[in-house]
Amino acid sequence: MKVFITGGSGYIGQVVIEALLRHGHEVTALARSDRAVGLVTARGAKAVVGELTDAAVLREAAGAADGVLHLGASGERSAEVDRAAADALLDGLDGRGTYVHTGGVWVYGDTDGVVGEDAVKQPPAITAWRLENEARVLETAARGWHPVVVMPALVYGRASGLIETFFVEPARARGAVGLVGDGSNSTTLVHVDDLAELYVLALEKAPAGVEYVGVAENRTFAELAPALAAAAGVQEVRALANAAEEVGPIAEAFGLDQRMTSERARRELGWVPKHLDAVRDLANGS
């Protein structure tokens, strides 16, 4: 299958390219800079030069593909850029194959116990914009198109990702791991390699109009804290006195108490995550 991917030069996207090629697909990836071109071609993909705001480029690239994975994200005007990019990609693909859109489990907010895709969505402010965009994408199934939404948990692995950026690296600078709250809240986790396999399975097997939670395990931040300290090479763990100021708007998301199940993806797609001990993996620097 000829697959076009946005966000291919990013942390998750590079691993997804590897997984697509491993499954026998031909991959073309959007690349906004010479550095991005180098990253995607080094992984084995062909590069299409352009940005998420280049609707004509996205439409043409999707039109030449049999399936599309949209992992790209914009740091500014996130909602507007994501919506326009999704529209262009869907128009270009024109229902000839599966379009996989990236969401995220934070849209479910605090959960009452362990929940799945059908739970009520009550997102923190930082991800509230996703609700309308994802609804627009899924509604195209009524036109006979084939949209799917993959909703990753907090992604870790390969010594990168949000955990590295917001917990490990700052811990090295301040000499302690900083938590949002006392650490008793749960978070969802998935290793980047497992998530990449989920994207491929969603492209190959998912029915139209379905959302899939990509969660491998649920852990409290108190359970994760010693591993984060080990990864950072520090001893102390403490609650941040002013998390919103030190971490920014994402602090609200890290403060969620969230537990979720990926039973739908396991049952319908045959997804079997292999990395099921984030504490060990993080402590070892993964």
Residue showing tokens 């292999």: 274
Q: Whole-model pTM above 0.95?
A: yes
pLDDT digits (tens, 9 = 90+) for 36-64: 999 999 999 999 999 999 999 999 999 99
CATH of domain 155-189+217-261+272-283: 3.90.25
Residue 285's region, left for phi above 0, alpha for psi from -120 to 50, else beta, is: left
pLDDT of residue 143: 95
Separation of alpha carbons 195 and 273, rounded Å: 8
Amino acid identity for residue 165 in this structure: T
Q: What are phi and psi of 161, to 5 degrees?
A: 100, 180
How would you classify the pairing of strands 114-115 and 259-260? parallel
pLDDT grade, residue 159 (50/70/90)? confident
CATH of domain 2-153+190-214: 3.40.50.720
pLDDT digits (tens, 9 = 90+) for 91-145: 999 999 999 999 999 999 999 999 999 999 999 999 999 999 999 999 999 999 9
Q: How far is CA 221 from CA 93, 104, 150, 189, in A?
A: 41, 19, 24, 11
Q: Taking the domains of the chain in order of start, what are their residue ranges?
A: 2-153+190-214, 155-189+217-261+272-283
- At 251, is the secondary structure helix, strand, or coil? helix
Q: Are 151 and 131 in contact (CB under 8 A)?
A: no
Separation of alpha carbons 206 and 203, rounded Å: 6
Percent of the chain with pLDDT over 90: 94
3-state helix, strand, coil in the chain (%, to 5): 45, 20, 35
pLDDT of residue 286: 75
Q: How far is CA 81 from CA 107, 187, 275, in A?
A: 18, 28, 33
